[in-house]
A and B are shown apart, each in its own frame.
Chain A
Amino acid sequence: MNSGVNTQDFEEIYQKYKNTLYRIAFTYLKNNVDVEDVLQDVFLKRFYKSPKFKDEKHEKYWLIRITINLCKDTLRSFWNKNVKSIDELMESQEIIQWDFSEDEKYIFREVMSLPDKQKTVMYLYYYERYSCKEIAEILKCSESAVKMRLKKGRELLKINLEKEDFV
């Protein structure tokens, strides 16, 4: 490993965040080839160009934000305007490997059909258990924008609410 990056530090950070960042990148890009490129870049930036973090929370915020920005760059790329359709995604190797039940496939399809902004906010709120305020800080948008995206996402998915701190 290049000097200046401790192998143990690397392992710890990589293991801690790899799945979170993978999930976020996949919701945007819908294919493992582009996701792998983005994750390569994210971790390279983390180890060679990141700012000093106040704490672990801010490190994670930064990583999520960088991942989203790189995904958007990828989607904007001249050759990547041909994004996989939902039907193609559902037939892809990525879905097969996760071995979803029929029920799960149906829900996954519905979730992946949401616009990117809603998918991301839903994931950060329901799975990562961030508050709206924290999500707003991560995404650099207003708290009301986060709430609107959650509301819209729920309407589209008709989720039964189980979190009580959403107004």
Chain B
Amino acid sequence: MKLDKYNKIIDKMSIPDDMDNRLKEYLLSDKKENKKITSKKLIKRFSIAVATMVLVLGVSQTSFVSTAASAIIHFFEYGFTFTENNGQETTINMKMNYLTLDKNTPMESMYMDSIDQVSDTIGIKLLNSTKEYKSNGFVEYYPSISNDNILAGIRIINNCYIIGDIKNISVTNRKSQDSKNMINYTVGENYKTPIGVQISIRTNENLTSKYQDNELGFVSENTNIDLDDNNKQSELYQIDNLGIKAVLFTTQTDGPIEWGLGDKNIDVTYAVFVYEGVEYVYFGGVSHNTMKEFLNTLK
């Protein structure tokens, strides 16, 4: 391949006119503190991951401190609404509180070795399972920091949290901070992939509506989605250990890079709930029953 051909291709890759106009208009406007969320972004964000989901996701309240309001709302709440097998419509609310973390909570992204290590670091006891797969550096810690260097929230992700009956596991350690640890494995009878976890904590109620650089959980802004209900696999599950209900559903996705699925989509079961103000999302190539067995190990 000649260099001039490469350069000619790159020459053609210029910013489209419509994007150019929108960017200029936005950047020159006076309303930049609240980041504009375009309808395209909402559609893109949800259409791929929820193409076959059955839940209707409605956000009931997101407003925070308002100088004109007589009541100050101290939590971020959204809801899952879905139709159960008996035809009854059910709504379950997810209410995340604003938590105070240890004053030495890290303000930069890093890798940690376990959920307990994160708990010790931030001063909040997070749910953990006795089945946690212990391997160095799999836990990803992401703080969301505003432009004024205030912590808006944190996300903790481990895409290889539980390995279940997966076999022949080997770990390839990351070669740099930019890359990820990779796991090679043979699928088990019940686990086609590991179960991963995303834990989201909100820490500053003044920021959530203004700061939207990163996701601050399963839902980070007002949304209202109509979902395809032709593939209904959703249910509520009571986690007796914790005394709360989780929303379980299944959708098709290719999963995180660590699972090694490439472009292949498989059925992935999700479990979402809020416990003591913290949002937990578990996801894996497992059945609902296997997910329930796992949820019962959390404490």
Name A's B-contacting residues (CB within 8 A). 1-2, 7, 10, 14, 18-19, 22-23, 26, 31-37, 39-41, 43-45, 47-49, 72-73, 76-82, 85, 94, 97-100, 103-104, 107-108, 110-111, 117, 122-123, 126-127, 141, 157-163
Contact = CB atoms under 8 A, between A and B. Distances in A.
Nearest to A46: B27
Contacts of A47: 27
B170 interface: no
B49 A127 contact: no
B28 A36 contact: no
B23 A40 contact: yes
Interface in B130-188: 140, 142, 147, 155, 157, 176, 178
Contact of A1 (B20, B28, B48, B155): B28
B103 interface: no
A106 to B, nearest CB: 9
Q: Which 6 A-B pairs have the closest CB atoms?
A: A22-B15, A33-B44, A85-B263, A98-B12, A82-B48, A162-B3
A39 B23 contact: yes
Given A48-B147, A159-B6, A43 B218 contact: no
A57 to B, nearest CB: 20
A40 B35 contact: yes
A29 to B, nearest CB: 11
Contacts of B28: 1, 7, 10
Nearest to B265: A82
Contacts of A72: 178
Contact of B281 (A36, A77, A78, A123): A78
Contacts of B14: 19, 22-23
A39 B26 CA distance: 11
A164 to B, nearest CB: 12
A117 B180 CA distance: 13
Nearest to A36: B19
Given A23-B13, A78-B198, A97-B16, 14 more contacts: A1-B28, A2-B32, A22-B19, A33-B41, A39-B23, A40-B35, A45-B147, A76-B142, A76-B157, A77-B215, A85-B263, A104-B8, A157-B1, A159-B6
A2 B30 contact: yes
Contact of A160 (B3, B44, B46, B214): B3
Given A23-B10, A77-B215, A159 B44 contact: no
9 contacts: A1-B29, A2-B30, A19-B14, A40-B26, A79-B45, A82-B49, A127-B6, A159-B6, A162-B2
Contact of B12 (A33, A104, A111, A117): A104
B267 interface: no
A43 B155 CA distance: 25
Given A126-B6, A159-B3, A162-B3, A49 B147 contact: yes
B27 A40 contact: yes
B116 interface: no
Contacts of A40: 23, 26-27, 35-36
Contacts of B218: 78
Contacts of B16: 32, 94, 97
A1 B29 CA distance: 5
A7 B160 CA distance: 48
